[in-house]
Amino acid sequence: MQFFVIGDEDTVIGFRFAGIAGKVVADRQEAVAALDASVRRSDTVVIVPEAVAELIRGEIDGVRFGETLPLIVEVPGPEGPRAETPSLFRLIREAVGIKLES
């Protein structure tokens, strides 16, 4: 399983301590390029902080709903979790069209 992180410097350095390679991005253009490179490399899991994910929401959704891999996992950034982050139930409902009861 190949992991890769795309995010701010603190997040990338933190995951690097765990042995996970990554790319520090400062803007939308860099984030899109890093995601495209990760898909081309056939990374299995791409970890993206929520703030960066919001910059490239369309591209992430395109990968999530159009590709088998990579699995994109959004994590809270150094500032903590965002209140408007969609729940796992919502993501499943959007992807599959099935409403789950919690």
The domain containing residue 92 runs over which residues? 3-96
Which residues partner with 77 through β-bridges?
80
pLDDT (0 to 100) of residue 76: 82
Tokens of 79: 């500032």
Report yes or no on 102 lying in a domain: no
pLDDT digits (tens, 9 = 90+) for 41-83: 988 899 999 999 999 999 999 998 887 789 998 888 777 666 6
pLDDT digits (tens, 9 = 90+) for 8-43: 999 999 999 999 999 999 999 999 999 999 999 988
Report yes or no on 72 lying in a domain: yes
- Confidence tier at 100 by pLDDT (50, 70, 90): low
Report yes or no on 11 lying in a domain: yes
The total of structural domains in the chain comes to: 1
3-state secondary structure at position 79:
coil
C-alpha torsion sign, points 88, 93, 94, 95:
positive
Residue 55 sits in a domain whose CATH number is 3.40.50.10580
In this prediction the pTM is 0.78
Report yes or no on 9 lying in a domain: yes
Q: What kind and span of H or E run contains 74?
A: strand 71-75
